[in-house]
Amino acid sequence: MEKPKLLILDEPMNGLDESGVHDMRDMIKRFKNEGLTVLLSSHNSEDISILCEYVYKMDNGVLTEQNNKKAPIV
pTM for the full model?
A: 0.80
E strands, the chain, in order: 6-10, 37-41, 54-59, 62-68
Q: Are 48 and 57 in contact (CB under 8 A)?
A: no
Q: What is the pLDDT of residues 15-64, one digit of tens each?
A: 999 999 999 999 999 999 999 999 999 999 999 999 999 999 989 999 89
pLDDT score at 73: 45
Domains and CATH numbers, the chain: 6-68 (3.40.50.300)
